[in-house]
């Protein structure tokens, strides 16, 4: 009897890509909204906010970040606080942020969370993307520890592969 091969991570530009369940939940929900829009409005669905966001999230996650996750554009200032300076974010469509971490030595990127319509970037708002993500980190979901974060990401390899393929 042969053992099943262990699933391999998605590799883009030499970087191993993993995703936390929170990121995958958001991406799957957005993809479902877009599918529903396609059925309802076969001609105009691409002009809808959900379709634009899905296109932007997939471009940021699977093209821009893997080009160079160390790029200064992804550094966040003091918004999350000094204790979370090791977290990075990609900005897109003005009020949206995709939070991630990377490990240069192992060429690993972990996509952690992307905000939605309810948590858009809005200074001083209780539902601001940064405030929301900071609270999530303090609550431990996603974990702040690299090892714990990577463990949770490794458990999602097959799910990430399906989502990435479906959103191309």
pLDDT tens-digit series, residues 111-166: 999 998 777 766 666 778 889 999 999 999 999 999 999 999 999 999 999 999 88
Number of domains in the chain: 1
pTM of the entire predicted model: 0.92
The dihedral formed by the CA atoms of 104, 90, 166 and 8, expressed in degrees to the nearest 10: 10
pLDDT tens-digit series, residues 39-58: 998 888 888 888 999 999 99
Using an 8 Å Cβ cutoff, are 90 and 65 in contact?
Answer: yes
Please give the structure tokens belonging to residue 100: 């991630």
Residue recorded with tokens 């939940």: 25
Q: Residue 51 is part of a domain; what is its CATH number?
A: 3.30.2310.20
Residue 21 has pLDDT above 60, yes or no: yes
Residue 139 located in a structural domain: yes
Which residues partner with 99 through β-bridges? 89, 113
Domain that holds residue 20: 10-166
Using an 8 Å Cβ cutoff, are 153 and 143 in contact?
Answer: no
């Amino acid at each position: 009897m042969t053992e099943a091969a262990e699933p391999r991570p998605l590799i883009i530009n030499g970087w191993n890509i993993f995703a936390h369940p929170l990121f995958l939940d958001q991406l799957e929900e957005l993809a479902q909204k877009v599918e529903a829009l396609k059925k309802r409005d076969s001609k105009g669905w691409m002009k809808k906010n959900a379709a634009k966001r899905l296109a932007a999230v997939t471009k940021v996650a699977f093209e821009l970040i893997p080009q160079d996750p160390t790029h200064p554009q992804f550094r966040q200032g003091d918004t999350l606080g000094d204790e979370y300076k090791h977290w990075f974010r990609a900005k897109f469509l003005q009020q949206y942020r995709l939070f991630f971490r990377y490990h240069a030595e192992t060429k690993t990127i972990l996509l952690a969370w992307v905000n939605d319509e309810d948590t858009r970037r809005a200074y001083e708002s209780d539902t601001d993307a940064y405030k929301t993500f900071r609270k999530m980190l303090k609550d431990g979901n996603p974990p702040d520890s690299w090892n714990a974060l990577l463990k949770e990401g490794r458990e999602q390899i097959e799910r990430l592969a399906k989502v990435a393929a479906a959103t191309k």
